[in-house]
Amino acid sequence: MAVSDHVDLPTFMEGVKKRNPNQPEFVQAVQEVAEDIYEFIQDKEEYHAQQILRRIAEPDRVVSFRVCWEDDAGNIRVQRGYRVQNNNAIGPYKGGIRFHPSVNESVLKFLAFEQTFKNALTGLPMGGGKGGSNFNPKGKSVREIMRFCQSFMTELYRHIGADVDVPAGDIGVGGREIGFMFGQYKRITNQFTGVLTGKGLEYGGSLIRPEATGYGAVYFLANMLATKGEDLVGKSAVISGSGNVATHAAEKIVQLGGKVLTLSDSGGFVHDPDGFDQEKIDWVKTHKTHRRGRIQDYVEAFPKATFHEGKTPWGVPCDVALPCATQNELLGEDARTLVANGCKALAEGANMPTDLEGVHVFKAAKLLYAPGKASNAGGVAVSGLEMSQNSERRAWKEEELQQMLKDIMFGIHQSCLTWGDQGGGYVDYVKGANIAGFKKVADAMLAFGVV
């Protein structure tokens, strides 16, 4: 069959939209990947004939379930839980669990789809999955969170396993929640296996897992700058978010000689013209993670800073930017502002924080722009290393892990250069990441035949 007989990109996307009604985030993620993959496979008949892209964009399965729990006042509460197992062509499904009121099937399908390419980019044997619930941990007591996690795992346990599907944390799910879920898994199955990553160090967790996503994103940023003979020393950075990824990205920027000007949460952003040093970052970590506080309280502790309610930080002039909060937090207009203000490089810590219009603005401006599937892969990479340590029943040293993380981020950057170099000194990192991730998964799928 001639290539010209195959459906074109608009027709393919029409089909995706029709099959996934009311799932805008999923359609957006597929569109972003398909734009690059269509060009790549135009002269590669077997990918067409075997319908590889169509198959990757259809999750292996989506499990949806009821999660009942009792709050402290004795009320029965009902939430919806999910696990999306997108693709396990190159290894067990792997991807985080998100607890946030915005969680729905579309959001988790987009995350599981993205995760498939990201995990392939790390070079480790991991397929793509994602899960979560519309449970809102904000304002809940520790006991309520524990009861919810236990109830969630009481259903999830039958769908996961160390060689089947290995979840980790994501928004709203940190070490504490992983501990509650692991405890419940162990109680139900009477098995101590590496079924979750992001565990505590006492029970099979890996050093530097909490730091890995933020640190990795900054390593990736440094790799991009190095292609222009530059580094982070003296560079100003604008960061969104104030959770796990944002605070560790801020920490690494400071360690590498940069100056962090902003952090944010869903209430707005804080601008500290003196920069966030380690002491201030530690304050944010404690305040946001342990006290579950709001970022606006920062200005009381550090009065030179200002709080901008309901705003995102993209209007603050900077050399580099790291969106590290959530999807679609940086729109086309924000992208134009960043470019106009002289931003040189942007690495996504969050998943799909830039909308499609913003991606097109960055590409047109030939900015050093790294999509999350490349630049935030450090977290899942160290999760993969946690799985290896669990299988070996040993724990590697911090220096070994730090070096492995750096090497993996360097390797992902190289893959992006291989497939994304457009000549004239411009690298399209989105295209590079999409093609490198796709090719690995696609070639494994070709080997399996039609399954």
Verify whether residue 130 is a known catalytic residue: yes
Residues 6+ apart with CB under 8 A from 46: 446
Out of 119, 206, 326, 390, point to the residue binding ligand NDP (CB under 6 A): 326
Site membership for ligand NDP, residue 172 (CB under 6 A): yes
Q: What is the closest distance, in whole angstroms, from the C-beta atom of residue 163 to ligand NDP in the complex?
A: 22
Q: What is the closest distance, in whole angstroms, from the C-beta atom of residue 367 to ligand NDP in the complex?
A: 20
Residue, CB closest to ligand NDP: 243
- Restricting to residues 335-394, name those near ligand NDP by CB under 6 A: 349-351, 376, 379
Is the dihedral angle over the CA atoms 157, 158, 159, 164 positive or is it negative?
A: positive
Site membership for ligand NDP, residue 128 (CB under 6 A): no
Closest CA to 308 of 238, 365, 370: 238
Report the residue number, 213 or 262, with the smaller CB distance to ligand NDP. Answer: 213
Site membership for ligand NDP, residue 213 (CB under 6 A): yes
Report the residue number, 85 or 326, with the smaller CB distance to ligand NDP. Answer: 326
Q: What is the closest distance, in whole angstroms, from the C-beta atom of residue 325 to ligand NDP in the complex?
A: 3
DSSP letter (8 states) at residue 161: B
Mask: binding to ligand NDP, 173-202, rule CB under 6 A, as x and -? Answer: ------------------------------
Out of 171, 232, 316, 318, point to the residue binding ligand NDP (CB under 6 A): 171
- Find the largest Cα–Cα distance for the chain: 68
Report the residue number, 59 or 243, with the smaller CB distance to ligand NDP. Answer: 243
Q: Where does this chain touch ligand NDP (CB under 6 A) — which range of 19-27, 179-187, 259-267, 431-439?
A: 259-267
- Restricting to residues 138-157, name those near ligand NDP by CB under 6 A: none
Site membership for ligand NDP, residue 170 (CB under 6 A): yes
Q: What is the closest distance, in whole angstroms, from the C-beta atom of residue 403 to ligand NDP in the complex?
A: 19
Q: Where does this chain touch ligand NDP (CB under 6 A) — which range of 57-65, 143-151, 223-231, 319-327?
A: 319-327
Q: Where does this chain touch ligand NDP (CB under 6 A) — which range of 5-13, 39-47, 260-268, 335-343?
A: 260-268
Site membership for ligand NDP, residue 106 (CB under 6 A): no
| 245 contacts 171 by C-beta, under 8 angstroms | no
Q: What is the closest distance, in whole angstroms, from the C-beta atom of residue 421 to ligand NDP in the complex?
A: 25
Report the residue number, 210 or 432, with the smaller CB distance to ligand NDP. Answer: 210
Residues 6+ apart with CB under 8 A from 164: 92, 93
Residues 6+ apart with CB under 8 A from 430: 32, 36, 359, 363, 369, 371, 420
Site membership for ligand NDP, residue 244 (CB under 6 A): yes
Report the residue number, 269 or 362, with the smaller CB distance to ligand NDP. Answer: 269
Residues 6+ apart with CB under 8 A from 36: 430, 431, 434, 435
- Per-residue CA distances from 270 to 96, 240, 291, 311 (Å): 28, 9, 18, 9
**Gap between the Cα atoms of 439 and 437, Å rounded:** 6
Long-range CB pairs of 206-209, under 8 A, 24+ apart, other chains included: 206/382, 206/383, 206/385, 206/386, 206/389, 206/395, 206/396, 206/401, 207/395, 207/396, 207/397, 207/398, 207/401, 208/382, 208/398, 208/401, 208/402, 208/405, 209/379, 209/382, 209/383, 209/386
Catalytic one of 94, 109, 118, 130: 130
SS3 160: coil
- Which amino acid is present at 2? A
The crossing angle, in degrees rounded to 10, of helices 332-340 and 356-364 is 30
Report the residue number, 184 or 197, with the smaller CB distance to ligand NDP. Answer: 197
Q: Where does this chain touch ligand NDP (CB under 6 A) — which range of 51-59, 240-248, 415-423, 431-439?
A: 240-248
Out of 29, 41, 237, 325, point to the residue binding ligand NDP (CB under 6 A): 325
**Gap between the Cα atoms of 84 and 371, Å rounded:** 22
- Order of strands, edge to edge, in the sheet holding 128-133? 61-70, 76-87, 128-133, 93-99, 165-168
Q: Where does this chain touch ligand NDP (CB under 6 A) — which range of 1-9, 62-70, 229-237, 322-330?
A: 322-330
Closest CA to 3 of 36, 44, 35: 44
Rounded (5°) CA angle 292-296-301: 90
Q: What is the closest distance, in whole angstroms, from the C-beta atom of residue 309 to ligand NDP in the complex?
A: 12
Site membership for ligand NDP, residue 205 (CB under 6 A): no
Sort residue 22 into left (φ over 0), alpha (ψ -120 to 50) or beta. Answer: left
Q: Tokens 């520790």 appear where?
A: 142
Q: And the tokens for 339?
A: 């470019």
Report the residue number, 179 or 349, with the smaller CB distance to ligand NDP. Answer: 349
Report the residue number, 167 or 241, with the smaller CB distance to ligand NDP. Answer: 241
Site membership for ligand NDP, residue 169 (CB under 6 A): yes
Give me the residues that bind ligand NDP (CB under 6 A), please.
169-172, 213, 241-246, 265-267, 324-326, 329, 349-351, 376, 379
Active site members:
130
